[in-house]
Structure 1
Amino acid sequence: MERFRRTRLNSQLRALVRETHVGVNDFIYPLFVRPGEGIKTEVASMPGVFQMSLDEILKECELLQSLGIHSIILFGIPEVKDSVGSDALCDHGIIATAVRAIKRAFPKMFVVTDLCFCEYTDHGHCGILDHVHETVDNDLTLGISAQQALVHARAGADMIAPSGMMDGIITTLRDALDGGGYVNLPIMSYSTKFASGYYGPFRDVAESVPSFGDRSTYQMDPANRREAIRESLVDEAQGADILMVKPALAYLDIIRDIREASSLPLAVYNVSGEYAMLKHAGAAGLIDYNRVMMETMVGFKRAGADIIISYHAKEVAALLS
């Protein structure tokens, strides 16, 4: 009889034979910046997550570095929104301003910029609208996405992360960045991003609820597995440096599928709804919050993720320390 318990009875031996490890360097922490000063507004649906003015963002970066977290992804909430997301196309817009300030104060902080338009448009969709078909015009949006990428690059972003799920986005951005002299700036593609109900709380914090319809005409159908793999492999072929699956918790099979299909680094986005469920269940005493949080992180790594974008990152870092 094989006795599996021989390697389970001693805690040190369990640690020695443990197959999957979670470390603080696995994490990217999302931050939401808005104009103003002295603003740190907690989002009711996401306890512990805040909209912050730039002065508060800088304080947060100092805290993150003290915890050993040296990678962030930035989302912007502009003062004025319009039909094409003009703030995102401006060298003095909220994201470009924030990137410059963070890199001045914390030059070793690795700053990833989310590249999309849903936070910047008055209609809440991810690009220029095609009013005839009530969706986003893919090719017109590619044009302004290239402009946005160059804004981020000039500001000093360390990596660009396009999230709009436009067809051809990686080729477009790679050509624009290379042509602008940013040949070494990596792209982390939201390569397999589903039209998910798990994004609800994010739309509260990013103020990006669509004014009509939803994003199912350009984000992926949650039921499609084969298409999910194809999406990521196409982005790899177009020049993405890192792939991503979003959301993570309900898509562990997709993470494993893509891990087996590609040798590129693979990120997962542990999204707002996943975070909020654990937070509220923990507050209600329904789960051992820290234990379930860490078990979830191990699940992402076991499925094949190299990088975890998560609102839990600070809590994970504190536990690991």
Structure 2
Amino acid sequence: MTHAQFLRQRPRRVRRTEALRGLVRETTLTTQDLIWPIFLRDGEDVVEPIVSMPGVNRLSLDNAVKAAEQARDLGIPALCLFPYTDPALKTQNCEEAWNPANLSNRAIRAIKEAVPEVAVMTDVALDPYNINGHDGIVRDGEIVNDESVAALVKMALEQAKAGADILGPSDMMDGRIAAMRDALEDAGHTHVTIMSYAAKYASGFYGPFRDAVGASGALKGDKKTYQMDPANSDEAMRMIARDLDEGADMVMVKPGMAYLDICRRVQDTFEVPTFAYQVSGEYAMIEAAAQNGWINGEAVMMESLLAFKRAGCNGILTYFAPRAAAILNAA
């Protein structure tokens, strides 16, 4: 390349000002891209800090409704609910999971009555109700698939009856999407959306979440027999294809930041609504580093969220949602 040719091609020209950078920006992040996961617990006027997730709290139902109002005001379109279940309600058979009056179902009703314009997403998995801490029912040390699916279907139906907009099966049992979709159709819940945790990995990033829902002490063993091996990429494509065939409307990759390659493959291969979960461990690492002054927490938060969009995600479940939305609204 001659000196003259070099002068004709100066990419720095379009980086010179924010206005120019904005004109050529390839990826954008908006409040509509965010889903805010919140943790529930019984009580009144409870805001209970989660030590391993600085800035995140367990909320009683009255405060969960306030969070939904905050989401509406910030332009966040959806909340995802996770319950901290009283240990006395945890059993081998997980019956509390499909109790119409359990904490999650009461929260769905309260939020939809107070703030109907905010979509409510639920978690469909047995670990908050399981004395063994697993996402499926345990028999003689084995997580049994088909019995677990039957339980998950009952759980999903109760959440749909309570008014959930999006069901999020996070259990990774085989065949659960088809079973749920058939049951929802038969019960007349044809409008209820399923966002399948289709590529959920057996990851080390989930620890703070298990603290948040009270499953850390209960978990016996690990989840490697039903969650995916972090080494596998082609398997994720098979899981996505299966869940779409079985009736999923949207799919999720979990965790997020260490699996951006999977997000991109999913979007390129299937061209379907694709989401990622920026999970508790990812959040906690950023927060811990920021609190120690090692990184600019706000800058890294926004950069990490933009990375999901750049990788092809339509949206992100993130505990940063209200903080990120406030920054986006102020821009």
Question: TM-score normalized by structure 1?
Answer: 0.97
Instruction: Structure 2: state its 5+ residue gaps.
Output: 1-5
1:251 and 1:221 map into 2 onto residues whose CA distance is 12
Which one-letter code corresponds to 1:118 in the other structure?
Answer: D
Which one-letter code corresponds to 1:197 in the other structure?
Answer: G
* Runs of 4+, deviation exceeding 4 Å: none
Is 1:22 matched up with 2:60? no
1:211 and 1:71 map into 2 onto residues whose CA distance is 29
Which one-letter code corresponds to 1:164 in the other structure?
Answer: D
Is the deviation greater in 271-280 or in 205-214?
205-214
1:1-321 correspondence runs (5 A): 1=6, 2-79=9-86, 80-131=89-140, 134-209=141-216, 210-321=218-329
Residues 85 and 214 in structure 2, CA contact (< 8 A), matched pair in contact too = no
Which one-letter code corresponds to 1:239 in the other structure?
Answer: G
Residues 149 and 173 in structure 2, CA contact (< 8 A), matched pair in contact too = yes
- Superposed displacement of residue 233, structure 1: 1.3
1:35 and 1:5 map into 2 onto residues whose CA distance is 55
Residues 72 and 117 in structure 2, CA contact (< 8 A), matched pair in contact too = no
- Superposed displacement of residue 59, structure 1: 1.8
- Superposed displacement of residue 238, structure 1: 1.1
- Superposed displacement of residue 70, structure 1: 2.8
How many pairs are equivalent?
319
Which one-letter code corresponds to 1:156 in the other structure?
Answer: G
Which one-letter code corresponds to 2:129 in the other structure?
Answer: Y
1:108 and 1:11 map into 2 onto residues whose CA distance is 34
Residues 64 and 70 in structure 1, CA contact (< 8 A), matched pair in contact too = yes
CA deviations 1:3-25 (Å, max 9, x no partner) are 21121112211101100000001
Larger C-alpha radius of gyration, 1 or 2?
2
1:272 and 1:204 map into 2 onto residues whose CA distance is 10
- Superposed displacement of residue 123, structure 1: 1.0
Q: 1:13 aligns to what SS in structure 2?
A: helix
- Superposed displacement of residue 127, structure 1: 1.7
2:213 and 2:102 map into 1 onto residues whose CA distance is 16
- Superposed displacement of residue 105, structure 1: 0.8
1:137 and 1:39 map into 2 onto residues whose CA distance is 36
Is the deviation greater in 268-277 or in 34-43?
34-43
Q: 1:223 aligns to what SS in structure 2?
A: coil
Instruction: Structure 1: state its 5+ residue gaps.
Output: none
1:90 and 1:58 map into 2 onto residues whose CA distance is 21
The root-mean-square deviation of aligned C-alpha atoms, in Å, is: 1.0
1:95 and 1:173 map into 2 onto residues whose CA distance is 18
Q: 2:42 aligns to what SS in structure 1?
A: coil
1:125 and 1:86 map into 2 onto residues whose CA distance is 14
Which one-letter code corresponds to 2:237 in the other structure?
Answer: I
- Superposed displacement of residue 78, structure 1: 2.3
